[in-house]
């Protein structure tokens, strides 16, 4: 079935259509100006939007992307509408101007209708997929934004850590310049600490031995003080006896010298643990000393006796020879010879006693 029920018209020429077109253009109708202004504004708006989108930096947030997609869709709808409108106008003008009108039959309409139905079905499916995609985008947008913020935070943290690493490297470089090689490393420091611990333990033991020695010396000094008091009391009694018997001394200094000698001898005995001093002859003196080992306890007394025999030149104070008894296995010949040549009796006694304490 044809759309036109009247017989087809035959145009001999296109002059009437051209006259109608010229009359229409010369009429200056308002609707024509409005249409031209609408078309220009629509095209300018779309081009400006595209230029702004191209020139501006793309935002990276999901909300901004959704807004830009919405703008793009609106622009594409307007562009599609303009295309369809211009296409229809072009077909309409071609149909009017053409000498022979196209034949439109029922089969053509059925074919077009079937094609339209297929296109509508495809369009509906595409719209459903698009709606599903929009739903997925709306559902995934918060997760994407959260992941984006998390990634941004990690990126900022990575930048801060990189800056910290650079600062640390700069600090290490400055420390290396301030402290050139050889530098104290951790293994060397640990080894030095271990050696210091051993040294501190040895010093602690030495300090303990010195404290014990100080305690013994204090005890000896206390005993010597008691002995001095006793000797002073004996001196007082002897002075009383001298006064009773009316003994007159030729020189008053003899008593003071005797007191000084007695006190010095008592202090020497208490400090050096001297047991006895015997004068065998005019030029021979025998001194006996008791040596206490460092690990001696209060209950066990294992004293060692060292005897020093001093030989002097007759009628002089010059040391001629010395013998050491009680230090078996210790060679003291060179030491004795050096002190005999120096005529240093106190130094010889102190050296022998020190060596005896080290050996015992």
- pLDDT (tens digit, 9 = 90+) per residue, 269-288? 777 778 888 888 888 888 88
Burial class (CB in 10 A: 0-12, 13-18, 19+), 149: exposed
* Domain end marker among 107, 140, 168: 168
Phi first, then psi: give them for residue 233, nearest 5 degrees: -65, -40
Which residue reads 């035959």 in tokens?
10
Among 104-118, 194-208, 272-286, the range scoring the smallest mean pLDDT is: 272-286
Mean pLDDT in residue range 49-58: 51
Q: Are residues 32 and 155 in the same domain?
A: yes
Does residue 178 belong to any structural domain of this protein? no
Does residue 340 belong to any structural domain of this protein? yes
Give the Cα separation of 63 and 312 in Å (integer): 117
Provide the pLDDT for residue 52.
54
Mean pLDDT of all residues belonging to the chain? 79
Q: pLDDT digits over 140-150, tens only? A: 888 888 999 99
Quick check: 258 and 270 in contact, CB under 8 A?
no
Residues in the chain, overall count: 360
Among 94-103, 237-246, 295-304, 351-360, the range scoring the smallest mean pLDDT is: 295-304
8 pLDDT tier (thresholds 50, 70, 90): very low
Q: Are residues 154 and 279 in the same domain?
A: no
Total number of domains in the chain: 2
Answer whether 0.85 is exceeded by the pTM: no
DSSP 84-116: HHHHHHHHHHHHHHSSSPPP--HHHHHHHHHHH
Provide the pLDDT for residue 167.
95
Q: Are residues 153 and 19 in the same domain?
A: yes
Give ∠ CA 228-234-240 in degrees, rounded to 5. 140
Does residue 139 belong to any structural domain of this protein? yes
| Domain assignment of residue 353, given as a range | 273-360
Sign of CA dihedral 271, 274, 278, 284: negative
Question: Nearest CA to 138 among 69, 53, 76?
Answer: 69
Does residue 202 belong to any structural domain of this protein? no
Does residue 35 belong to any structural domain of this protein? yes
Q: Are residues 34 and 164 in the same domain?
A: yes
Does residue 266 belong to any structural domain of this protein? no
Does residue 330 belong to any structural domain of this protein? yes
Does residue 229 belong to any structural domain of this protein? no
Which residue reads 């079935």 in tokens?
1
Task: List beta partners, residue 277.
Answer: 287
* Domain end marker among 147, 168, 189: 168
32 pLDDT tier (thresholds 50, 70, 90): low
Query: Which segments of the chain does DSSP mark as H helices, in order?
Result: 15-26, 30-55, 62-97, 106-178, 186-245, 253-272, 333-342, 345-359
Provide the pLDDT for residue 30.
63
């Amino acid at each position: 079935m044809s759309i036109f029920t009247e017989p087809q018209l035959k145009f001999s020429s296109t002059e009437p259509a051209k006259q109608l077109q010229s009359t229409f253009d010369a009429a200056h109708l308002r609707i024509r100006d409005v249409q031209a202004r609408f078309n220009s504004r629509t095209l300018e708006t779309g081009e400006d939007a595209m230029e702004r989108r191209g020139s501006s930096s793309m935002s990276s947030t999901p909300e901004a992307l959704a807004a830009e997609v919405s703008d793009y869709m609106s622009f594409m709808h307007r562009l599609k509408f303009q295309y369809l409108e211009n296409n229809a106008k072009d077909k309409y003008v071609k149909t009017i101007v053409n000498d022979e009108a196209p034949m439109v039959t029922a089969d053509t309409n059925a074919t077009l209708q079937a094609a339209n139905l297929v296109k509508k079905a495809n369009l509906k499916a595409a719209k459903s997929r698009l709606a599903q995609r929009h739903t997925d985008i709306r559902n995934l947008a918060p997760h994407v934004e959260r992941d984006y913020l998390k990634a941004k935070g990690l990126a900022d943290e990575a930048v801060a850590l990189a800056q910290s690493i650079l600062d640390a490297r700069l600090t290490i470089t400055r420390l290396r310049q301030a402290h050139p090689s050889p530098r104290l490393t951790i293994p060397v420091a640990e080894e030095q600490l271990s050696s210091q611990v051993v040294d501190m333990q040895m010093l602690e033991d030495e300090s303990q031995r010195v404290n014990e020695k100080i305690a013994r010396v204090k005890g000896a000094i206390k005993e010597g003080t008691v002995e001095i008091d006793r000797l002073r009391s004996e001196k007082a009694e002897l002075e009383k006896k001298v006064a009773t018997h009316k003994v007159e001394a030729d020189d008053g200094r003899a008593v003071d010298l005797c007191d000084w000698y007695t006190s010095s001898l008592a202090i020497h005995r208490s400090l050096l643990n001297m047991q006895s001093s015997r004068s065998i002859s005019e030029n021979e003196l025998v001194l006996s000393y008791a040596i206490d080992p460092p690990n001696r306890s209060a209950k066990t007394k294992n004293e060692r006796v060292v005897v020093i025999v001093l030989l002097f030149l007759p009628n002089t104070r010059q040391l001629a020879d010395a013998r050491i008894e009680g230090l078996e296995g210790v060679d003291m010949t060179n030491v004795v010879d050096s002190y005999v040549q120096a005529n240093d009796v106190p130094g010889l006694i102190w050296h022998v006693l020190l060596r005896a304490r080290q050996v015992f």
